[in-house]
Chain A
Amino acid sequence: MNAAIRIAREEWRQWRRSRLAVAALTIFGVLLIVTSVLTAGDMLDARQDRLHQQAHAEATFLDQPARHPHRMVHYGHYVFRAPAPLAVFDPGVDAVTGQSVFLEGHRQNGAMFADARAQARAGGFGDLSPAALYHLFLPLLLIAIGHAVILREREARTLGPLLSQGVTGRQLYAGKSLALLAMIGLLSVPALIASLSAIPMGEPVSTALGLYAGQLLYLCVWGALIVLVSAIVRSRGVALGLLLLVWFVTALIIPRIGVTAVGTSLPADGKIVSDMRMKEDIRKAGDGHNAADPAFAQLRANMLAEYGVDTVEELPVNFRGVVASTAEARLTDTLNDYAEQRMARERAQSDGLSAFGWLSPYIAVGAASRALAGTDLATHHRFLREAEGVRFDFVQGLNAVHAEQLAYSDDINRSSDPQAERRTRVDPKNWKVLRDFRFTPDTADVRIARAADSLLALTVWLFALIGLGLWAARRMSP
């Protein structure tokens, strides 16, 4: 073990004295720090903004004057998805999914970009997060610094003297691996800082450290591969070429193939086709603004029978409100069915792509990182579901006010009778049916469970490479 440490220390001395290593490290370090600071700043601003906008939207809703409750159904409300604390490291799908939803009656709107900055992130620069830097570019730096760790000894004919004087192949291999591991440790410090900085924002320690451990695992996979190639390949050019090829294939080609494969195996219906089918289903559910719609004939008959009366005017509740509520419930069922189908499809696609992590550590670390950070698609879907919950509750709350506090006669005459119109305006305290909404990431357990498969894939990769390394180390010769 002492020999391994001595060898590792010597490797570090070599790096310190190598212009290439120092220059590459410096450039990368600066890039890493700048990106981390920018992304962290961005995400903290966005978090602040969206929390503020959320509070503002809620206050605005509650501040509305006395109105007909159905007007408030159409007045609508906004909910915002504040980025998870760990988004400072991996913004994940934040850049492409939209982070706010306009909630109103009778519709489920898609997510929109919360602000201009969020929009800008979706273009080119949005991609250069610390996570992207770690997953895509750090392997290149490790390749540049590490591809010759053992090869250099071979070239300089120092492998013979080293091995012939009692240093075993395994000690040498361990020493070189240790040197690269220490380099990885150094390079991962910004990731550690980013992860830890999320803890004061409410991030559990387990996910913060888990996210860091995921990055470390990924970099170790690369480190193990680099030392292995350096040990078995006999020319610098071939080693460099081989490692770059692996990078190219795992980080660029396989993800591309994965997207295509997942896309063709799970064909998503065209949006227009499914929208048209959904509109048709909604039409069948009836128009809630029209109490005379034949779709509500059965409802009317049931209610008249229940209360033992002959006309809707005699009902103790406002039938128009009941219709609005029933229609909203039916419509929401249909909308939810379609939304769930769409989300299931998207999840299947994203899970299918994650499965390619067994072929590409790059895909595995991306999936693990987003899941742990709480910035993955599953989290976004939960946001959409929770937003829908808020929407449904406040709309139905208002429909209940409509049914219970408004007289049917006033309601039908309000366009012709100003007195009736005034009576259909309800007190603003009724707007409290809106509940506060603060989107929070999943609990640590849930996120870790979601990342488990990808982390397992990375672990298997690492152990396979270490196994090959032990084999290569044993038969090491000059």
Chain B
Amino acid sequence: MTIAAPAIVVDDLHVSRAGSPVLHGVSFEVPAGSVYALLGGNGAGKSTTLLTLLGFLQPSGGSARVLEHNVAADTAAVRQSVAYLPEAATLYPHLSAYENLDYFLDLAGAGVDQGAVDATLDRVALQAEARGRRMETYSKGMRQKVAIALALLRDTPVLLLDEPTSGLDPVAIDEFNALVRSLSDEGRTVLMVTHDVYGACQVADRIGLLRRGRMVGTFDAPEGARIDTETVHSAFTGRSAA
């Protein structure tokens, strides 16, 4: 694959939460149209990184840019070009999948027709009979699928996904990974956060390993192949605990 200009550039990023430092100088780049998996243990700072990219947290040092926009200064422009899937998204339980999507897309100013909505829900494999039901009757994985569909329907050049496969069954995970690959093929940039080594290796062009707020390793997919699971797995778990 050809190396395009980076869609996301994180440079020596320092972020504190509630007064204590969480990110200690994180740097990485996500080439446009590629899939980047940010891998790390609980509390490593993965979600913090995404929240900083969205402008919800202010860097105390360093910088981050999304499509050339500084995330701290040009927040509105960044948010315009990014779809964000939060950790453990549930959307509104009293609304159906259709109603939820309609509401969020309406607020996002994205005019989307019913056909596109159904096509995307097909893509995430949400059963048709459930789509008009209130989401409080959904399983965890079904809710996650709707949240993913929402991120896709935003039709933005960049997607920030926080643990998108949590709650999905193995079949759904495989389908999701295929989906992410196809997004990349469409030229969209995906930065996803995960603990799932196998999934990350399956889908990512590049994996960054985050430990206690520091980037401790980067793994690139060889031309025409996937990243080796064993290597990443031992890097993730092998050395002293995170």
Contacts and interface: CB of A to CB of B under 8 A. Distances in A.
A372 to B, nearest CB: 40
A477 B88 CA distance: 16
A162 B104 contact: yes
A7 interface: yes
B84 to A, nearest CB: 4
A478 B83 contact: no
Interface residues of B, number: 30
B103 A156 contact: no
Interface in B129-153: 147, 150
Contact of A166 (B76, B90, B94, B147): B76
A313 interface: no
A163 B56 contact: yes
Given A157-B87, A478-B56, A478-B86, A165 B107 contact: yes
A6 B108 CA distance: 11
Interface string A1-31: 0010011001001100110000000000000
Given A158-B91, A160-B86, A478-B51, A166 B56 contact: no
Contacts of B76: 166, 168
Interface string A371-388: 000000000000000000
Interface in B80-114: 80, 82-95, 103-104, 106-109
A164 B76 CA distance: 9
B112 to A, nearest CB: 13
User: What is the size category of the interface that chain A forms with chain B?
Assistant: 20 to 34
A157 B51 CA distance: 13
Contacts of A478: 51, 56, 86
B84 A3 contact: no
B195 interface: no
Interface in B60-90: 76, 79-80, 82-90
Interface centre among A17, A165, A477 (most CB of B within 10 A): A165
Interface centre among A160, A163, A477, A478 (most CB of B within 10 A): A160
Contacts of A17: 94
B54 interface: yes
Given A6-B103, A166-B109, A167-B107, A161 B87 contact: no
A165 B86 CA distance: 12
B117 interface: no
A165 B94 contact: no
B92 A6 contact: no
Given A6-B106, A477-B57, A478-B51, A165 B90 contact: no
Contacts of A156: 90-93
B211 interface: no
Contacts of B108: 165-167
B79 A164 contact: yes
29 contacts: A3-B107, A7-B107, A10-B92, A13-B94, A14-B92, A18-B94, A156-B90, A157-B88, A157-B89, A158-B91, A160-B54, A160-B86, A161-B147, A161-B150, A163-B56, A163-B79, A164-B54, A164-B79, A164-B83, A165-B79, A166-B76, A166-B80, A166-B107, A166-B109, A167-B107, A168-B76, A477-B51, A477-B56, A478-B51
